[in-house]
Amino acid sequence: MMTNDYKYIIFHKPYGVLSQFTQESPKHQTLKDYINVPDVYPVGRLDWDSEGLLLLTNDGRLQHRLSHPRFGHERTYWVQVERIPDVDAITRLQTGVEIQDYRTRPAKVSLLPEDPPVGDRHPPIRFRKNVPTAWLEMTLTEGKNRQVRRMTAAVGFPTLRLIRVSIANLRLDGLALGEWRDLTPSEVKLLNHLPVKSKKA
């Protein structure tokens, strides 16, 4: 709990959990199954089949700030893809690809030299004995619908698993799957002072 009755929390969302509190189908769990804090709402979203860091708050001003394209704060993902991307594919992801009549902004993309420190997913990804997989680290400054999955598919390397590990200055470090915590005052202060992105960026 912060001053002015504003609440700011981050949650390590598991696979198969909807980024909302209302249940539309018994097929999926919702945030209500994990978070017992009233009147907070997600800033942005993670698809039900994605995992990782989700920020929730009742601070409408901060929600607007983080949702507005002109702020363009960074979001970093670990992305497990089918097969091993070559230099050409990574360069295309870095410079921008066409997805649904939209060209993505330049992004930071690198092939991780080893698997990141993540636990098993339940259910596990589809496994094909003769098809290797690789992990990418991708940092974007925009959040179109299913953007990461569409980007990797566009260059020929479908996403198998997607984990958001950071939003601006917030990181998933040390937060177990399905757990949440309050932000520290310094974390909230940094979020409220994110720079405005230039129109050319």
Residues forming the active site:
47
* pTM, 2 dp: 0.91
Q: Per CATH, the architecture of 75-166 is what?
A: 2-Layer Sandwich (3.30)
Bridge partners, residue 135, by sequence:
80
Instruction: Confirm whether 3-69+170-191 and 75-166 share one CATH topology.
Output: yes
Q: What are the φ/ψ torsions at residue 121 (nearest 5 degrees)?
A: -95, 145
Which CATH number among 3.30.70.580, 1.10.3720.10, 3.30.70.1520, 3.30.1390.20 corresponds to the domain 3-69+170-191? Answer: 3.30.70.580
Q: What is the pLDDT of residue 70?
A: 67
Q: Does residue 116 have a cis bond before it (omega within 30 degrees)?
A: no
Cα distance between residue 160 and residue 30, in whole Å? 22
- Residue 1 binned pLDDT confidence (cut-offs 50, 70, 90): very low
CB-side neighbour CA atoms (13 Å) of 52: 23
Q: What is the pLDDT of residue 2?
A: 45
Alpha carbon 65 to chain centroid, angstroms: 17
Q: Say how many C-beta atoms besides its own lie within 10 A of residue 65's C-beta.
A: 18
Q: What single DSSP character describes residue 73?
A: -
Q: Is the pLDDT of residue 21 over 80?
A: yes
For tokens 């066409």, the residue is 98
For tokens 């299913």, the residue is 146
pLDDT per residue over 61-95, tens digit each?
Answer: 998 888 876 667 899 999 999 999 999 999 999 99
Nearest CA to 110 out of 131, 91, 126, 129 is that of 91
Q: Per the structure block, which two tokens stand in for 160? A: 């198998």
Question: Domain coordinates of the chain in residue numbers?
Answer: 3-69+170-191, 75-166
What DSSP line would sit under 43-65, residue for residue?
Answer: SS---TT-EEEEEEES-HHHHHH
For tokens 């994110």, the residue is 194
